[in-house]
Structure 1
Amino acid sequence: MTPYDTASTQILVARKILTMEADRPEATHVAVRDGEILAVGGPADMAAWPDAAQLDTLRDKVLMPGLVEGHCHLMEGAMWDAVYVGYFDRRDPDGRLWRGLRTLEQVIDRLASAASQLRDADAPLLAWGFDPIYFGASRLSVRELDRVSATRPIVVMHASVHLMNVNSAMLAQAGIDADTDIDGVHKDAQGQPTGELQEFAAMFPVQRVLGSALSLAAAENGEAVRRFGRVAQLAGVTTATDLVNDLSPKGLETLRAVTAEADFPLRIVPAFSPQRNAQGGPARVQAAAAAGTDKLHFGPVKFIVDGSIQGFTARLRAPGYAGGQPDGLWLIPPQQLLDAFTPFHLAGLPLHIHTNGDEATEVVLDVLEAMLSRHPRADHRHTLQHCQLADAAQLARAARLGLCINFFSNHLYYWGDAHVEQTVGPARAARMNPAGTARRLGIPFAIHSDAPITPLNPLFTAWCAMQRQTASGRVLGEAERLTLADALYAITMGAAYTLKLEHRIGSIAPGKLADFAVLEDDPTAMAPASLKDVRVWGTVLGGRVFPAPAR
């Protein structure tokens, strides 16, 4: 990508500018100097800078604040080193369209084709995006993967990243057998591992063999970070999280080097994950923050309390899973949560806590209420991430505790039908990701993709929250729909607020960073059902124009 050069002061002219500011929601001109916004308005408002360079490149475009993805992962840039075997079509960072696989046999065929292209007979075959919930009674096990190869290690990461399947060769290399006593190592009636590994403890022996491949440690891979930047730019995103990060020395060095590149088009917010590496605690986050830059911001701390609803590892209250499956797994034992959260809270850091199931949400609300009672803190900005099955009473508690929520609205499209028919039934599926209730309760909220779990595309996420439509066209919980204005706010100012960055990004106003999404279409002039089809031309980051590369 080749960004346009910028003068010291310049005026960007657009067909329309959507500011997300109530006092002036629309404009046509924005003055920028040294990466910040000087003024927003019409031609008359630019009179104070008669000598400013005027950039007309965007004259026929629509500008809105650079989109903010408040829950995603740098893994989105790293996963494309593996083979995509997902159910839905997916486009890679280079623009190639990978067709979704609708049968288990198609998955096996793509794996076999990929295996035939590997020259090293001992190299592992890595794949990602698989989800057995789309295939009914058909399961992927050692038996099926050994059809591809019984000698080459094979690892297939599920779309949720909370489960994986491996073949017999990988089980052997990881040391997993009938005697392995780890929660999440699935076994058949004879007590033999089936190759399905549920959650991080069960996957750890495999991850130890693989190293950084198919892991959350993508920050250490410079090319993966660059690919992530391209994916974000194609979606109009100018600020994105890496919501599980070790803050390892190598990862920090890589992030600083890549984000310092002039043509890197993204600001990144890594969140420290004590579950993966607790060494250093709050001081580790504070040290990283002290060395942050305008394109690299630290502060959030991420905890993962339960698992995946479609993977049946999330923790649900009664009546539990609709099909009678056993309750999910605690990734942190509830009795350890208070001790885990408190040091970071006392250090003034915002907690971002993954709670998918409503039992996990209830437990975390209890812990946060006890912690805030003992250690009150104004504007703590603690955020429940996903929080998909929270009911009205739980949301009311969250409001009283001053919490933010970041809903996983894309779930409604990708897994809504499965939630109705297989996981939680129609009543609970209809209340999933209840952004409408959060809006009525005054809870600050955002919506997200959790990329690479689903594609990074906030305009599509906003469409999901507005339409609440499944892949088959079924509408879930019409009362929870957002308006267009609320949905666009959620992917700009809403997400910025959860990251404590609303003073710098999220709207187009004087004093904020000159970060814009550049659109071909005006989302406010289109039918709400067409929001997912808005075309992104590129982005502006700190006043620098980044046209999206041609596909």
Structure 2
Amino acid sequence: MENIDLLITNATILTLDKQNSRSGSLAVTNGRISGIWTESEPPSTIILTPRTEVLNLNGRTIIPGFIDTHNHILMYALNKNKVNCSTPPNSSVDDILERVKLMAIDTPKGKWIEGYGYDDTLLKEQRHPTREELDRVAPDHPVFLTHISSHFAAVNSKALILAGIDESVSNPRGGHFGRDINGRLDGVLHEIPAMEYVQKYVPVPSVDEMITALGEGSKDYLSQGITTNSDAGVGLFIGEAELEAHIVAAKEGINPMRSQLMVMHTLLRKGEKFGNYSAEQLNEEIMKSSNGNARLDSAKMFQDGSIQGLTGALREPYYNNPDVVGELLYHQEAFNEEILDLHRRGFRVTIHGNGDRAIGSILDSYSYALEKAPKDNHRHRIEHVQTATIDDLDKMKQLSVAGSVFINHVYYWGDRHKRLFLGPERASRISPLADMVDRDILFTLHSDCPVTPISPLFSVWAAVNRLTKEGEILGADQRIDVVTALKSMTIFGAKLNFNEANVGSIEIGKQADFTVLGDDPTQVNPMEIKDIPVEATLIGGKIVYEKEGALLG
């Protein structure tokens, strides 16, 4: 072995290969793993050169770099400059109003005020902020506050006026405008189709501002050990400019992570810039423009909303509202044809589905496309897979459809799902990981950041323990073991990304993407997994994050 650039010694290496082997040292050459040894030091026959960097991990654990297959890093990064409406720190509508009021004082009249992260079900009043309340604290500014789920917004009168919305407005398919007991618009926009009426009037950041934001956001992701990341809706709010920002940030190393771009299907429709592109053509353009640091992941669609917003499409009514079952965003026939078009053009398709009726609709569309144009190894996906039934999972297996599972729902919404939205029986089955393991369905875990904080170790913890915020184990029979949970954010993610030949496990020839942990997740008390510190993150054998001199100090 020649020209070793990096030698890692005295480590606890979880390779997460097929044998789940453990090692003690490894070598990196030209950004790829060139040697792995069981012992803590390589054999004496290994020759080091003056330029070889040696990292003694002093027993720390090293695993393949984490892969988060579904989040919204650009949205997360842009939120940093908006009003923080989250709970905590806010516990009431009044707390949020005070923050909006303070922002209005420092914002020129007429300029938009944006906020993010409020959760009506966690606020003392158990409701959204209203138009009248926002008018009171910001009468001279249009206001747009986004719900934690990104499926609702609260706006004031000035925002409605600028958007040309009056009392005669009709509800769009898949969304509606909230109204008070007198039938007057209350300023709450339910679901993306309604939000878009106002959001298109909110000034958008420039490409340069988005590039800078991606750089800042990536620092937080790297600190959590993420080396490959998927933005799950490129173009959702700002259009093609989002794609440009991602490509430049990747090309210039402003965002050092390996980027998977889930491009909104609306940018791929006939008449749009990419309307005549095949997936291969678009991927080649992205790869070339980003110096190989970004790749096309998929064409992204939605088929319903969120369970907590009563807009996830269910087969049976909501537990707390027997008149509501949610709504599919697309009629099945039109949905089928759009999926078929994307499928024939070579796109892997990823579709948001929370409710079981939406999941069934998605599976029907995939079945339709595969019947018309059979294709092996398509790896079409369902995003979130929150309330999939046994029959849904059986059909996923039959069609070889993969799932990216929003496991964090269990902790953050499990109690409310049981008490309010789904009832005990359905709530205990959300994110049915054990049933997916039993069927050998390819799946990953994700954070959906900024809906929940970015933390792969937290998601692993949630999958292993299924503990809710109030301390209840929700669906004990759906817990999975630690190694499987770790693989769901490493090698399974690599497979979902069609990149298992290069990343996802620690094996000779693969790219040297590593996460260094302060403890071994397979050895600690399972309840402590989320608290294990991330000491460092390496991409291509280069340190891109280090906690307070953990490696070099």
TM-score (norm: length of structure 2)? 0.91
Q: 1:116 offset after TM fit, Å?
A: 2.5
For 2:417 and 2:464, the matched residues in 1 are separated by 19
Q: 1:54 offset after TM fit, Å?
A: 4.2
For 1:47 and 1:316, the matched residues in 2 are separated by 63
**Residues 219 and 21 of structure 1: is their aligned pair in 2 closer, same or farther, counting only changes over 3 Å?**
farther
**Residues 14 and 337 of structure 1: is their aligned pair in 2 closer, same or farther, counting only changes over 3 Å?**
farther
Q: 1:60 offset after TM fit, Å?
A: 4.3
For 1:525 and 1:549, the matched residues in 2 are separated by 22
For 1:253 and 1:142, the matched residues in 2 are separated by 35
1:16 matched to 2:4: no
For 1:298 and 1:49, the matched residues in 2 are separated by 39
For 1:426 and 1:282, the matched residues in 2 are separated by 47
Find the counterpart in structure 1 of residue 178 from structure 2: 186
2:487 equivalent among 465, 486, 489: 489
Find the counterpart in structure 2 of residue 86 from structure 1: 86
Find the counterpart in structure 1 of residue 250 from structure 2: 259
1:148 matched to 2:137: yes
Structure of greater relative contact order (alpha carbons < 8 Å, 6+ residues apart): 1
Is the partner of 2:335 in helix, strand or coil? helix
For 1:181 and 1:157, the matched residues in 2 are separated by 21
Alignment map for 1:126-525 (pairs within 5 Å): 126-135=114-123, 137-183=126-172, 184-212=176-204, 221-246=210-235, 250-262=241-253, 264-275=255-266, 278=269, 279=272, 280-281=274-275, 283=277, 285-291=279-285, 292=287, 293-324=291-322, 326-525=324-523
Amino acid paired to 1:307? G
Q: Is the 8 A contact 2:310 2:318 kept in 1?
A: no
Amino acid paired to 2:62? L
**Which stretch of structure 1 is more off in the superposition, 37-46 or 58-67?**
37-46
1:50 matched to 2:47: yes
Is the partner of 2:535 in helix, strand or coil? strand
For 2:90 and 2:475, the matched residues in 1 are separated by 29
Is the partner of 1:129 in helix, strand or coil? strand
For 2:396 and 2:103, the matched residues in 1 are separated by 47
Q: 1:415 offset after TM fit, Å?
A: 0.8
Is the partner of 1:491 in helix, strand or coil? coil
Q: Is the 8 A contact 2:312 2:354 kept in 1?
A: yes
Q: 1:365 offset after TM fit, Å?
A: 1.4
Deviations along 1:328-371, one digit per CA (max 9) or x if unpaired, are 23322322111111122123321111111011011111222222
Is the partner of 2:369 in helix, strand or coil? helix
Q: Is the 8 A contact 1:65 1:492 kept in 2?
A: yes
Deviations along 1:411-431, one digit per CA (max 9) or x if unpaired, are 111111111111111111100
**Which stretch of structure 1 is more off in the superposition, 458-467 or 179-188?**
179-188
TM-score (norm: length of structure 1)? 0.91
Amino acid paired to 1:271? M
For 1:75 and 1:49, the matched residues in 2 are separated by 47
For 1:225 and 1:40, the matched residues in 2 are separated by 34
Unaligned runs of 5+ in 1: 1-6, 89-99
Amino acid paired to 1:29? S
Q: 1:497 offset after TM fit, Å?
A: 1.4
Q: 1:312 offset after TM fit, Å?
A: 1.2
Amino acid paired to 2:383? Q
Q: Is the 8 A contact 2:278 2:347 kept in 1?
A: no
Is the partner of 1:70 in helix, strand or coil? strand
Deviations along 1:122-161, one digit per CA (max 9) or x if unpaired, are 2211100011122364432112212212221111100111
Deviations along 1:237-290, one digit per CA (max 9) or x if unpaired, are 000001111396644443333223356431110111113663223616433311
**Residues 328 and 36 of structure 1: is their aligned pair in 2 closer, same or farther, counting only changes over 3 Å?**
same
Deviations along 1:157-201, one digit per CA (max 9) or x if unpaired, are 001111100011111111111111133112234332110111222
For 1:336 and 1:520, the matched residues in 2 are separated by 51
For 2:534 and 2:509, the matched residues in 1 are separated by 25
Is the partner of 2:229 in helix, strand or coil? strand
Q: How many aligned positions are there?
A: 530
Find the counterpart in structure 1 of residue 112 from structure 2: 124
Amino acid paired to 1:270? L
Q: Is the 8 A contact 1:446 1:491 kept in 2?
A: yes
Q: Is the 8 A contact 2:71 2:448 kept in 1?
A: yes
1:28 equivalent among 24, 28, 35: 24
Q: 1:24 offset after TM fit, Å?
A: 5.5
For 2:496 and 2:253, the matched residues in 1 are separated by 27
Q: Is the 8 A contact 1:233 1:548 kept in 2?
A: no
**Residues 14 and 342 of structure 1: is their aligned pair in 2 closer, same or farther, counting only changes over 3 Å?**
farther
Amino acid paired to 1:211? P
Q: 1:85 offset after TM fit, Å?
A: 1.0
For 2:512 and 2:371, the matched residues in 1 are separated by 40
Q: 1:8 offset after TM fit, Å?
A: 6.0
Q: 1:111 offset after TM fit, Å?
A: 2.1
Amino acid paired to 1:354? H
Is the partner of 2:139 in helix, strand or coil? coil
Amino acid paired to 2:282? A
Alignment RMSD: 2.2
Q: Is the 8 A contact 2:461 2:530 kept in 1?
A: yes
Find the counterpart in structure 1 of residue 77 from structure 2: 77
For 2:208 and 2:188, the matched residues in 1 are separated by 27
**Residues 19 and 294 of structure 1: is their aligned pair in 2 closer, same or farther, counting only changes over 3 Å?**
farther
**Residues 350 and 45 of structure 1: is their aligned pair in 2 closer, same or farther, counting only changes over 3 Å?**
farther
For 2:150 and 2:525, the matched residues in 1 are separated by 34
**Residues 85 and 218 of structure 1: is their aligned pair in 2 closer, same or farther, counting only changes over 3 Å?**
farther
For 1:424 and 1:281, the matched residues in 2 are separated by 39
For 2:278 and 2:166, the matched residues in 1 are separated by 37
Amino acid paired to 1:188? D
Find the counterpart in structure 2 of residue 4 from structure 1: none
For 2:165 and 2:244, the matched residues in 1 are separated by 35
Deviations along 1:476-500, one digit per CA (max 9) or x if unpaired, are 1000001111111111112221111
For 1:480 and 1:268, the matched residues in 2 are separated by 31
For 1:396 and 1:219, the matched residues in 2 are separated by 46
Q: 1:529 offset after TM fit, Å?
A: 0.5
For 1:513 and 1:304, the matched residues in 2 are separated by 33
